[in-house]
A and B are shown apart, each in its own frame.
Chain A
Amino acid sequence: MGRKVVQVQLPQEVYRAIREFSILEGKGLDEFLIELADSYVRAKYGIEEFEMITLANVIKTMRGLAVVLTYLRDIYNSYRDIFGLPVPSPERAAPAQPAEEEGGGLLKALADRVEMLSKSVLELKEEIAMLREMPRGEEGRPAAAGPALAEIEEMKQEIMAMMMNAMRHMVRRAMSATMGAAVPAARGAAAAAQHAATA
């Protein structure tokens, strides 16, 4: 069976990340996506030492949460368009909210937290650097680093899972855009081949 050629238009960094891996080597999709997500994060943010900088990614994620709250407004705006909900006249509009500081109260709260986390990252980096110089505990890792490292590990897992999810959607989107009707046909052919092999 000849190799199938698919043309996919992806952002440059995603393309670079994908090019590093080959599904044809027989890797499972999950393994491929994990590596892809890892590579994507490294390529996109120029991250050399992924383990150590994960908290910085969490901060970006926190900023992203602020973005979620911002784009919610666009989403809700689109609700109005879907069913043509009425736009109120100015006199019926809700009373004006008190003027917020730049960025709004919620965004400011998030920004404060981001700043706080930024400080935590620096402190944590210093702590880890210090712990590295200390004698190692019984289990081969710095004795006091457990909770902090466990937290970093947990955050890393969360970000990786989210990146993987985004990659899945991206792959789905690319596949559906480029292959279209070829997918059901290919599935049918694969099913027929499997059926023939097991018969």
Chain B
Amino acid sequence: MQPEQLPEQALKAAETALAQAFVSGAAAVRLAFERRGGVEHPCVYVELRGKCADERACAERCKGDAQCASRCVDGQCEAMLAAIRERVERARAGDLMALFGLQPVPAGALPGMLSLEMLVKDVELVSVKREGAQAAVTVKLWFLPLKVPLLAAAAHRAAAVCLASRGAVEGCPEMEMLLACAERRTYGEVKECVRFLAE
């Protein structure tokens, strides 16, 4: 099912689930500024932790055979992590929305001409760790060092903070403060403001 086809109620439920994910540490978003090719870029680290296999289903299927259950968990986790690696590869090949399992955005489909493709310069798989049926993946989005991409990067972090603290993005003070940053004139001023908020 396409996320955009989800009814409003389901989206709200997803938002609430994600709020819990952020609170519990299952998902985290971090804003940083890092140099690449002599230029400092705004970066967003997306960290996800969670189960990569259904241990109970594996145990039931293997009927108490520990080795079989372990192979089953390994297989499920490797498949999931391979899928994530493939998504990152596709994103690096230009299909940025693939990273999030979304359909590519056709040119002009979004009102107001902004898309992830305009904001993000590159994507990097920072780390993939696994311990049993638990996995942790960190992906880094390199945003362009420009005002609007910087604000969009900061919006990712602010949205995560809002979801964790209020369970919703709309009407959240973090977002209001970000909008205040958007009023600054130069890139340097916006960066200073965004940095201040992120600290």
Contacts and interface: CB of A to CB of B under 8 A. Distances in A.
A76 B144 contact: no
A104 B17 CA distance: 20
B59 interface: no
Given A44-B108, A65-B114, A97-B170, A176 B93 contact: yes
Given A65-B151, A73-B169, A162-B119, A85 B113 contact: no
Contact of B117 (A76, A106, A165): A165
A173 B93 contact: yes
Interface residues of A, dominant DSSP: helix
Contacts of B3: 74, 77-78
Interface in B15-32: 15-21, 26-27
A88 B17 contact: yes
B169 A106 contact: yes
A51 interface: no
Contacts of B21: 79-80, 85
Nearest to A86: B17
Contacts of B125: none
B49 to A, nearest CB: 7
A108 to B, nearest CB: 9
A27 interface: no
Nearest to A171: B94
Contact of B170 (A95, A104, A165): A104
A86 B26 CA distance: 11
Question: Quick one: which of A62, A78, A166 has the most chain B CB within 10 A?
Answer: A166
B175 interface: yes
Given A60-B112, A105-B171, A82 B84 contact: yes
Contacts of A80: 14, 17-18, 21
Contacts of A175: 94
B17 to A, nearest CB: 5
A170 B20 contact: no
Interface stretch (B63-71, B97-105, B191-199): B97-105
Contacts of B167: 93-95, 97
Nearest to A62: B112
Given A79-B18, A83-B52, A176-B93, A69 B179 contact: no
Given A110-B179, A151-B185, A173-B94, A162 B50 contact: no
Interface in B102-158: 102, 104, 106-108, 110-121, 135, 137, 144, 146-149, 151-152, 155-156
B165 to A, nearest CB: 10
Interface of B: 3-4, 6, 11, 13-21, 26-27, 46, 48-52, 80, 84, 93-96, 100-102, 104, 106-108, 110-121, 135, 137, 144, 146-149, 151-152, 155-156, 159-160, 163, 166-172, 175-176, 179, 182, 185-186
